[in-house]
Amino acid sequence: MSNLFYQAQGRRPVLEQARGVYMWDKDGKRYLDGSSGAMVCNIGHSNPEVLTAMRRQMEKSTFGYRLHFETEASERLAQKLAGLMPGDLNRVFFVSGGSEAVESATKLARQYALASEQGSRWKVISRAPSYHGCTLGALALTGYTPLTAPFAPMMQDMPKIPAPRAYLDGLDADDPATGHYYADMLEAKILAEGPESVLAFIVEPVGGASTGALVPPNGYMERIREICTRYGVLLIMDEVMTGAGRTGSFLGSDHWQAQPDIVVMSKGLGAGYMPLGAVIADERLVVPILAQGGFAHGFTYAGNPLACAAGLAVVNTLEMNGLCDNAAKMGETLLARLNGLMQKHELIGDVRGKGLLTAFEFMADRDSKAPLPARLNAHQRFVDLAYAKGLIIYSRRTRDGTEGDHILVCPPLIVNAEHIDEIIEGLDASLV
Ligand code: PMP
């Protein structure tokens, strides 16, 4: 096999075509895409309106280098996104993926600090576990040992605080005291590092790949916002997975009174049609940067007109078809059905999620929360069983990345009740 990409997984079937929530391989076998790829294909596969918008753009131009041309496609998408953001988050910088977006947000925050006489601030606090991307800078913010350890000590060791896993600590996630308890760890970390050295805090509003749909306890996000404001620390919301409707609102952070200073988006924005990411920053951060001649950063493919035309059609499709609302509604159904599976199967120790970002976690013992022995490799075996039955799902290790198995169930936001039935049947049949 010459494609290095595929070697980790071994052989997989060859993809032939994909429509809506289904995908077919070369042998004609059908799969229900229960993870939207990797939480990417939010509006489903081969959406005709998006394909038409892309075709139209292709007839006009597929590339215009950002230092040579502005494009109508990138301007229209930037305006559209700005209109969907809270407060004054109205300056958009396009990239081609999630890691690029995280890197760009970090550099933008740093340039803002330098341009506004806060040059001592450079540390970005994040959480463990967390996932923010695979490039070296984004990896430095990632708290997930199996992905960071193989490259250590290549990255700066950025400070981390624990993710708020109330279910493991035996705390009540509905009680705001729990949210405050975890959020106050950020304040303690800022004080320990020295507030004048801390640039930003980066957080996934609902934890994704590393924690398995971890919904923050009540009171957490609001308290995080207060602490960041108190110490002049920028709040970066990593909405790469949660953005574009996944959790039942356009941004995952829309569920809380915790307005970010910078939002990063990717996955569901290009929705599998084109590689696309965006950094959306508060106006006040951009003003001093522009006064210094602009953001000293950029990728060759940034703002690609074809990607932006696809992104605009994706966002319009989300809106016109009420897909955020559908994600909220179907997410409730899915969560209830997953809880039903937990009643039936001892092996499931926890079910969680928001909108259509849902997950369950395998445990050896529900009371003690003990994980299954890592050598069983339960999550990968389960994914393979489901795969054989025609259901695609996404799994990872939960605890520190070396043990604990969680399965993310995140179908496209176009799912209906029958699709949910089919997903539950596939999961049930794979829990043998
Ligand atoms: N941030 C989050 C929250 C993610 O889930 C991901 C991808 N799983 C990334 C960043 C990195 O995105 P990409 O793989 O497109 O670089």
Report the distance separating Cα 325 and Cα 4, nearest Å: 40
What residue has token string 């059609």?
A: 313
Closest Cα to atom 5, ligand 1: which residue?
Answer: 241
Ligand 1 mean position, distance from CA 429 (Å): 30
Query: What does residue 333 show for φ and ψ, rounded to 5 degrees?
Result: -60, -45
Give me the pLDDT at residue 9, please: 60
Give me the pLDDT at residue 155, please: 77
Report the distance separating Cα 209 and Cα 286, nearest Å: 31
Q: Which of 96, 106, 210, 241 to mutate to test the pocket of ligand 1 (most atoms within 8 A of CB)?
A: 241
* Ligand 1 closest atom vs CA 130: 3
Give me the pLDDT at residue 7, please: 58
DSSP 48-69: HHHHHHHHHHHHH-S---TTT-
204 lines ligand 1 (CB under 6 A): yes
CB-based contacts of 355, cutoff 8 Å, min separation 6: 245, 246, 247, 248, 249, 324, 327, 328, 331
Report the distance separating Cα 308 and Cα 276, nearest Å: 7
Digitized pLDDT (tens) for each residue of the chain, 432 residues in all: 666 665 556 678 899 999 999 999 999 999 999 999 999 999 999 999 999 999 999 999 999 998 999 999 999 999 999 999 999 999 999 999 999 999 999 999 999 999 999 999 999 999 999 999 999 999 999 999 999 999 988 777 899 999 999 999 999 999 999 999 999 999 999 999 999 999 999 999 999 999 999 999 999 999 999 999 999 999 999 999 999 999 999 999 999 999 999 999 999 999 999 999 999 999 999 999 999 999 999 999 999 999 999 999 999 999 999 999 999 999 999 999 999 999 999 999 999 999 999 999 999 999 999 999 999 999 999 999 999 999 999 999 998 888 999 999 999 999 999 999 999 999 999 998
What residue has token string 């899915």?
A: 334
End-to-end CA distance of the chain: 33
- Beta-bridge mates of residue 348: 362
What residue has token string 């004054």?
A: 88
DSSP 315-347: HHHHHHTTHHHHHHHHHHHHHHHHHHHHHH-TT
Q: Within the chain, which residue ranges are assigned CATH 3.40.640.10?
A: 50-320
For residues 266 and 310, the answer to whether their CB atoms sit within 8 Å is: no
295 lines ligand 1 (CB under 6 A): no
102 lines ligand 1 (CB under 6 A): yes
Domain 4-46+322-430 grouped into CATH 1.20.1530.20: no
Residue 10 CB coordination number (10 Å): 7
SS3 156: coil
For residues 334 and 420, the answer to whether their CB atoms sit within 8 Å is: yes
Ligand 1 mean position, distance from CA 99 (Å): 6
- In single-letter form, the type of residue at position 23 comes to M
Report the distance separating Cα 378 and Cα 396, nearest Å: 10
* DSSP conformational letter for 5: G
Report the distance separating Cα 426 and Cα 321, nearest Å: 27
Q: Within the chain, which residue ranges are assigned CATH 3.90.1150.10?
A: 4-46+322-430
For residues 330 and 356, the answer to whether their CB atoms sit within 8 Å is: yes
SS3 247: coil
DSSP 408-427: EE---TT--HHHHHHHHHHH
Q: Which two tokens stand for residue 66?
A: 């950002």
106 lines ligand 1 (CB under 6 A): no
Domain 50-320 grouped into CATH 3.40.640.10: yes
* Ligand 1 closest atom vs CA 238: 3
